[in-house]
Amino acid sequence: LSDLPAISHAAPPCAHGRPPLSTDPSGSWLRNVRPRLEEWAAEADDMAVDEVASPPDGAPAAEALESQWVETPVGRVEVKLSVPASGRPTALALLIHGMSPAREIIWEWGCIVQSMRERSTAVVYPNLHSCDRTAPAGSSPQDVAVALEAIALWALEQLDSGTSTPLLVYGKSWGGARALELCIRLNDGTGAAGLGPAAGLVLACPAVSKMEDRAARVAALNLPILLAWAKDDDVIPFASSEPMLAELRARPAGPTIFVPVDVGGHRVDRMAAGSAGRAGLASKLSEWPDLAL
């Protein structure tokens, strides 16, 4: 409303095309302008509602990164790489998306890219839909794991700290299952040469119900694991978190952190936005390199 003329009880010149109040005792100008005031107020309310109702979208932050193409044993994969502006990275985070080919799903982990960069954590973010043999709809877990290992090795080679940089793996839904499988491979020594065990794992509503021998394979992991789930998830219901959490907490070694959030559905960026504050998911995701290491 800053462009509205100020109302004064003095009698200034009619610079705004209205009579001074002292010469307009009937108040006709105020009666004429009131409808416009109410209209402006309604427009402001509509804008506020729109801002609240518009769901957060992590994709733009990731899409803004330059795309590079990395050769893997199963084909070329589009990859985004974010490197801290100054200093050697303290860790590399590998982000793995869910099943849908929609851009907002492929790049939803973008919600943490900037905060990771500020914490001196490099990020490598593949678009697995860009290669036929890694695309979620028709790929095998083996092919995806081999590609992810090649992508992680490529990213480590781009960093000043090289392959000694700790690797953190983040996965959501379908990508959560692939993240878990990758960490199991790296932990038991069946992964690519040059890659040691992952230093930490983040699982957001992982689609792991069909994983064979899951409990036994999870029990062998001794790395820190963060599990996040939204109570309003209508794709993989929140109740699915209970058996997964029980298996993680039953591991002989390795801490487990569980972060349930009230709202967010089946989207990491919305889960993070709906769980603010020091103890919220957004903070935990960004601080995970510090917590895991």
Determine whether 13 is exposed, middle or buried from the number of CB atoms within 10 Å of its CB (0-12, 13-18, 19+). Answer: exposed
**pLDDT digits 0-9 by tens, 8-21:** 444 444 444 444 43
Residues 6+ apart with CB under 8 A from 261: 228, 229, 230, 231, 271, 274, 275, 280, 281
What does pTM read for this prediction?
A: 0.80
Instruction: Provide the pLDDT confidence category of residue 52 given band limits of 50, 70 and 90.
Output: very low
Could you please report the per-residue DSSP string of 99-155?
A: S--SHHHHTGGGGGHHHHHHTTEEEEEEEGGGSTTT-TTT--HHHHHHHHHHHHHHH
User: Which SS3 state, helix, strand or coil, does residue 264 take?
Assistant: coil
User: Which SS3 state, helix, strand or coil, does residue 181 take?
Assistant: helix
Instruction: Provide the pLDDT confidence category of residue 122 given band limits of 50, 70 and 90.
Output: very high
**pLDDT at position 277, please?**
62
**pLDDT digits 0-9 by tens, 184-207:** 999 999 888 889 999 999 999 999
